[in-house]
Structure 1
Amino acid sequence: MSSSNFETTIQAYLENRAKTDSLFAETYRKADKSIEECIKYIYSKARKLAKGGNAVGVDEATVYGWAVHYYDEDNIKVDKVQERVEVVAPASEPAKAEQPKPQLKPQPKRKRGDDNSLQLSLFGEL
């Protein structure tokens, strides 16, 4: 499997975490673990999350959590999966077209004791 942008991003995250977390640094050096298998593990977790669908959106914290989990656990079996990842940065709010504000019709003022008034007021007068 050739190195992809996705793989490079995950590997950089894990290496940075190993620099700041000495406990994780030990698990990251396990001889029976590899970044390639870690990526396959992430794909398999996403595939399970998609529940047979062709696409699923997963936030980066979840993906990084899966990567760390792969290295932390010794008994993980990686399922063979079809690999395809599209990384999309969170979209900023799309520019909303200016829509005219609805014009509110003025309501006639009601007086206390008006027989047509069905709404109670907690503040005294309506």
Structure 2
Amino acid sequence: MSNFETTIQTYLDNRAKEDSLFAETYKKANKSIKECCKYIYSQARKMAKGSNSVGIDDATVFGWAVHYYDEDNIKVDGVKEQVEVATPVTTPAPSEKSIQQKPAKKKTKQELFDERQLSLFNFDA
């Protein structure tokens, strides 16, 4: 059994434990994990529309697996199988050094003069 088939079977087993209605559907004698995976491949091919590859999220793939067991009239023949699993790419959080801060606003002559100007009210008694 391939890793893909094992992953699908694990998901369906867990779903059957949690959902008693699906558990009955999952027991159908005319259904198999191998056929279920072929159905998933065929759906992916349809989604690719002639392209060599397509990206599909987990929820959609697992949804197809459940659908395969729900429907009795699904027939799958001659499906070319190939699955590549890619983990999502995460970018590291930017460090403080990599964040560029805006340069401080240059003070005008008047602002510099105002800073140096003494005031009668600034003296501590």
The TM-score with structure 2 as length reference comes to 0.74
Gaps in structure 2 of 5+ consecutive residues: 107-125
Deviation at 1:61, TM superposition (A): 0.2
Gaps of 5+ in 1: 107-126
Larger % of helix: which?
Answer: 2
Separation in structure 2 between the aligned mates of residue 91 and residue 28 of structure 1, nearest angstrom: 34
User: Which residue of 2 is the match for residue 51 of structure 1?
Assistant: 49
Asked whether the equivalents of residues 44 and 80 of structure 1 are also in contact (C-alpha less than 8 Å), the reply is no
Larger radius of gyration: 2
Q: Runs ≥4 in structure 1, deviation > 2 angstroms?
A: 93-103
Q: Quick one: distance in 1 between partners of 2:55 and 2:102?
A: 36
Seq. identity, %: 69
**TM-score, normalised via structure 1 length:** 0.73
Alignment partners' CA distance in 2, 1:57 and 1:35: 21
Q: How many equivalent residue pairs?
A: 104
- Give the superposition deviation at 1:101: 5.8
Which of these residues, 23, 29, 35, is aligned with residue 25 of structure 1?
23
1:32-76 alpha-carbon deviations (Å, 9 max, x no partner): 000000000000000000001110000000000000000000011
